[in-house]
Amino acid sequence: MGAARLLFMSYDRPGVWSVPGLPVGDTTIVMATQGWFAWRLVGANNREIARSARTFLSFGACYAAADALRTRKGHFVDVVRHDDDRNQWAWHLRVDGIAEAASSRLYQRHRECLFNLEQFMTSIPDAVSAYDVVQPSSLDGQTVPSQRSASDRPGEHMTVGAPAAMPERFAV
């Protein structure tokens, strides 16, 4: 599969982030009374693979949560569930007991749901974002890859730092 990308959304109105992968009444969803941020993981074909299972009050918190998934920080537990009302399947991923990622839609077949979860787990470590800061670790004339790949882990050929400055329209 090609390079997956993390996209960040900003909404300046109150609202609820739609998360099909979470059961109704899950207390991890934050109903924002002001603006909020969320992320989506899309594949090379621009189809959504997964989305954040909750919203964030700042871009920094949203970026940090997505980055923690990329670097596999915390104890991961994947939950695949069947929606009896709709007769469809969904998944979500809990990190240290908190829902952090979820399927972007419901699936008719259990195997499709499991395949999507597997796609997420293999795509998220190498996902790139427009806000990643990539700096060469040495100035010996080598070119820096335009995206992280399995052979370019932080500390080897390049260093991935904190997010770049947010555009003014995203400032809270």
- Number of domains forming the structure of the chain: 1
Q: What distance in Å separates the CA atoms of residue 158 and residue 166, rounded to the nearest whole number?
A: 22
Q: What pLDDT is attached to residue 161?
A: 46
Residue 80 in any domain: the answer is yes
Q: Under a CB-based contact definition with an 8 Å cutoff, are residues 47 and 104 in contact?
A: no
Residue 144 in any domain: the answer is no
Q: What distance in Å separates the CA atoms of residue 119 and residue 49, rounded to the nearest whole number?
A: 7
The Cα-based distances of 10 to 25, 77, 87, 169 in angstroms read 24, 27, 32, 9
Q: What is the pLDDT of residues 25-67, one digit of tens each?
A: 664 555 556 778 999 999 999 999 999 988 888 899 999 999 9
Mean pLDDT of the chain: 77
Residue 114 in any domain: the answer is yes
pTM score above 0.75: no
Q: What is the pLDDT of residues 98-133, one digit of tens each?
A: 889 999 999 999 999 999 999 999 999 999 998 887
Asked whether residue 138 carries a pLDDT value surpassing 60, the answer given is: no
Domain around 39: 5-132
Q: What pLDDT band is residue 97 in, cutting at 50, 70 and 90?
A: confident
CATH at 70: 2.30.29.80
